[in-house]
Structure 1
Amino acid sequence: MRILVKAKPRSKVEKVERVGQPTLDLGDKKTELVVYKVSVKEPLVDGRANEAVVKALAKYFDVAISNVRLVSGETSRQKIFEIS
Protein backbone atom coordinates (compact mmCIF):
# COMPACT_ATOMS: atom_id res chain seq x y z
CA MET A 1 0.00 0.00 0.00
CA ARG A 2 1.22 3.50 -0.74
CA ILE A 3 0.62 6.41 1.60
CA LEU A 4 1.28 10.14 1.50
CA VAL A 5 3.16 11.44 4.53
CA LYS A 6 3.41 15.02 5.72
CA ALA A 7 6.56 14.97 7.81
CA LYS A 8 7.07 17.30 10.75
CA PRO A 9 10.69 17.16 11.98
CA ARG A 10 11.96 18.63 15.27
CA SER A 11 8.66 17.95 17.00
CA LYS A 12 8.41 17.69 20.77
CA VAL A 13 6.34 14.49 20.55
CA GLU A 14 6.70 11.62 18.09
CA LYS A 15 3.34 10.54 16.67
CA VAL A 16 1.59 9.26 13.56
CA GLU A 17 -1.94 10.35 12.76
CA ARG A 18 -4.21 9.75 9.79
CA VAL A 19 -5.51 13.04 8.39
CA GLY A 20 -7.31 12.30 5.12
CA GLN A 21 -7.51 10.63 1.72
CA PRO A 22 -7.03 12.92 -1.32
CA THR A 23 -7.04 11.96 -4.99
CA LEU A 24 -3.68 12.58 -6.63
CA ASP A 25 -2.97 12.88 -10.33
CA LEU A 26 0.10 10.70 -10.94
CA GLY A 27 0.66 11.05 -14.66
CA ASP A 28 -1.75 9.01 -16.75
CA LYS A 29 -3.89 7.79 -13.86
CA LYS A 30 -5.49 9.16 -10.74
CA THR A 31 -5.02 7.36 -7.46
CA GLU A 32 -6.14 7.80 -3.89
CA LEU A 33 -3.54 7.82 -1.15
CA VAL A 34 -4.25 7.89 2.56
CA VAL A 35 -2.55 10.90 4.15
CA TYR A 36 -0.68 10.66 7.44
CA LYS A 37 1.00 13.36 9.50
CA VAL A 38 4.17 12.02 11.08
CA SER A 39 5.90 14.08 13.78
CA VAL A 40 9.46 13.10 14.74
CA LYS A 41 12.03 14.57 17.09
CA GLU A 42 14.95 14.25 14.66
CA PRO A 43 16.15 17.33 12.72
CA LEU A 44 16.51 17.65 8.95
CA VAL A 45 20.19 16.65 9.02
CA ASP A 46 21.81 13.86 6.96
CA GLY A 47 18.53 12.00 6.45
CA ARG A 48 17.96 11.49 10.18
CA ALA A 49 14.39 12.77 9.96
CA ASN A 50 13.60 10.35 7.11
CA GLU A 51 15.00 7.44 9.13
CA ALA A 52 12.88 8.47 12.11
CA VAL A 53 9.77 8.67 9.91
CA VAL A 54 10.46 5.16 8.59
CA LYS A 55 10.82 3.82 12.14
CA ALA A 56 7.63 5.60 13.28
CA LEU A 57 5.64 4.20 10.34
CA ALA A 58 7.00 0.68 10.92
CA LYS A 59 5.91 0.86 14.54
CA TYR A 60 2.49 2.32 13.65
CA PHE A 61 1.74 -0.34 11.03
CA ASP A 62 3.41 -3.10 13.06
CA VAL A 63 5.79 -4.14 10.27
CA ALA A 64 9.56 -4.51 10.00
CA ILE A 65 11.55 -1.40 9.11
CA SER A 66 12.64 -3.17 5.91
CA ASN A 67 8.97 -3.22 4.80
CA VAL A 68 8.75 0.59 4.77
CA ARG A 69 10.24 2.18 1.65
CA LEU A 70 10.50 5.85 0.70
CA VAL A 71 9.25 6.12 -2.89
CA SER A 72 9.53 9.87 -3.42
CA GLY A 73 10.08 13.11 -1.52
CA GLU A 74 13.47 12.50 0.06
CA THR A 75 14.12 16.23 0.51
CA SER A 76 10.48 17.33 0.78
CA ARG A 77 8.14 17.39 3.75
CA GLN A 78 5.53 15.62 1.64
CA LYS A 79 6.65 12.07 0.93
CA ILE A 80 5.21 8.91 -0.58
CA PHE A 81 5.97 5.67 1.25
CA GLU A 82 5.24 2.09 0.31
CA ILE A 83 4.31 -0.26 3.15
CA SER A 84 4.52 -3.99 2.39
Structure 2
Amino acid sequence: MIDLVDKGNRIAFKVKVQPRASKSEIAGIIGDAVKLRITSPPVDGAANEAVIRFFADLFRKPAKDIAIISGLLSRNKIVEISGLSLSEAKKAFQIE
Protein backbone atom coordinates (compact mmCIF):
# COMPACT_ATOMS: atom_id res chain seq x y z
CA MET A 1 0.00 0.00 0.00
CA ILE A 2 1.32 3.43 -0.91
CA ASP A 3 2.24 5.55 2.10
CA LEU A 4 0.64 8.93 1.33
CA VAL A 5 1.75 11.61 3.80
CA ASP A 6 -0.76 14.44 4.16
CA LYS A 7 1.04 17.73 4.87
CA GLY A 8 -2.00 20.01 4.75
CA ASN A 9 -2.04 21.41 1.23
CA ARG A 10 0.72 19.00 0.12
CA ILE A 11 1.01 15.25 -0.32
CA ALA A 12 4.28 13.32 -0.20
CA PHE A 13 4.93 9.71 -1.24
CA LYS A 14 7.79 7.35 -2.04
CA VAL A 15 8.71 6.47 -5.61
CA LYS A 16 11.04 3.77 -6.93
CA VAL A 17 12.21 4.83 -10.39
CA GLN A 18 13.26 2.51 -13.20
CA PRO A 19 14.99 4.64 -15.87
CA ARG A 20 15.45 3.72 -19.54
CA ALA A 21 12.12 1.87 -19.73
CA SER A 22 10.34 1.34 -23.04
CA LYS A 23 7.47 3.58 -21.88
CA SER A 24 6.71 5.89 -18.96
CA GLU A 25 4.12 4.37 -16.65
CA ILE A 26 3.26 3.37 -13.12
CA ALA A 27 4.28 -0.26 -12.87
CA GLY A 28 2.70 -1.09 -9.53
CA ILE A 29 3.55 -0.88 -5.86
CA ILE A 30 6.77 -2.04 -4.20
CA GLY A 31 6.33 -2.09 -0.43
CA ASP A 32 5.04 1.39 0.38
CA ALA A 33 6.35 3.05 -2.80
CA VAL A 34 5.02 3.64 -6.30
CA LYS A 35 7.13 1.89 -8.95
CA LEU A 36 7.55 4.30 -11.84
CA ARG A 37 9.09 3.35 -15.17
CA ILE A 38 10.39 6.28 -17.22
CA THR A 39 12.02 6.41 -20.63
CA SER A 40 14.69 8.97 -19.68
CA PRO A 41 18.20 7.89 -18.68
CA PRO A 42 19.58 8.76 -15.25
CA VAL A 43 21.98 11.33 -16.71
CA ASP A 44 22.23 15.08 -16.02
CA GLY A 45 18.93 15.16 -14.12
CA ALA A 46 16.89 13.88 -17.08
CA ALA A 47 15.26 11.14 -15.01
CA ASN A 48 14.29 13.59 -12.26
CA GLU A 49 12.75 15.94 -14.83
CA ALA A 50 10.83 13.01 -16.32
CA VAL A 51 9.50 12.04 -12.89
CA ILE A 52 8.28 15.60 -12.32
CA ARG A 53 6.67 15.75 -15.79
CA PHE A 54 4.99 12.38 -15.28
CA PHE A 55 3.35 13.37 -12.00
CA ALA A 56 2.48 16.85 -13.32
CA ASP A 57 0.55 15.16 -16.14
CA LEU A 58 -1.00 12.52 -13.87
CA PHE A 59 -2.29 15.03 -11.34
CA ARG A 60 -2.90 17.83 -13.87
CA LYS A 61 -0.68 20.22 -11.94
CA PRO A 62 2.02 22.59 -13.18
CA ALA A 63 5.54 21.20 -12.86
CA LYS A 64 6.37 23.95 -10.34
CA ASP A 65 3.96 22.24 -7.88
CA ILE A 66 5.93 18.96 -8.00
CA ALA A 67 9.20 18.55 -6.09
CA ILE A 68 11.57 15.69 -5.41
CA ILE A 69 12.37 16.35 -1.76
CA SER A 70 14.65 13.35 -1.24
CA GLY A 71 16.66 11.04 -3.48
CA LEU A 72 17.79 13.30 -6.31
CA LEU A 73 20.72 10.97 -7.01
CA SER A 74 18.91 7.73 -6.17
CA ARG A 75 16.24 5.51 -7.70
CA ASN A 76 14.37 5.80 -4.40
CA LYS A 77 12.77 9.22 -4.15
CA ILE A 78 10.22 11.11 -2.14
CA VAL A 79 7.95 13.26 -4.29
CA GLU A 80 5.87 16.09 -2.87
CA ILE A 81 2.94 17.69 -4.69
CA SER A 82 1.54 21.06 -3.63
CA GLY A 83 -2.13 21.89 -3.97
CA LEU A 84 -3.21 18.25 -3.82
CA SER A 85 -5.60 16.74 -1.30
CA LEU A 86 -5.33 13.26 0.14
CA SER A 87 -8.58 12.24 -1.57
CA GLU A 88 -7.30 13.44 -4.98
CA ALA A 89 -4.09 11.45 -4.52
CA LYS A 90 -6.00 8.32 -3.50
CA LYS A 91 -8.26 8.67 -6.52
CA ALA A 92 -5.31 9.02 -8.93
CA PHE A 93 -3.55 5.99 -7.42
CA GLN A 94 -6.86 4.10 -7.22
CA ILE A 95 -6.68 3.61 -3.46
CA GLU A 96 -9.94 3.17 -1.58
TM range (shorter): 0.7 to 0.9
Select the residue among 50, 58, 61 that pairs with 2:59: 61
CA apart distance, 1:16 = 2.3
Give CA deviations for 1:43-75 in whole Å, capped at 9, x if unaligned.
111000110011001111111111100100011
Structure (1/2) with the larger helix percentage: 2
TM-score (norm 2): 0.68
Give structure 1 regions of 4+ aligned residues with deviation exceeding 6 angstroms.
none
Name the CA distance, whole Å, in 1 between partners of 2:18 and 2:55: 13
Task: Report 1:5-84 matches (<5 A).
Answer: 5-19=15-29, 22=32, 35-84=33-82
May I ask how many residue pairs the two structures share in their alignment? 72
Task: Using structure 1 for the length normalisation, give the TM-score.
Answer: 0.77
* Alignment gaps of 5+ in structure 2: 1-10, 83-96
Residue aligning to 1:3: 13
Q: Measure the CA separation in 1 of the matches of 2:30 and 2:18.
A: 16
Question: Measured at CA, do residues 61 and 18 of structure 1 come closer, stay the same or move farther in structure 2, by a change above 3 Å?
Answer: farther
- Cα deviation for residue 21 of structure 1 reads 6.4
1:66 counterpart SS class:
helix
Please identify which structure carries the higher strand content. 1
Cα RMSD, aligned residues only: 1.5
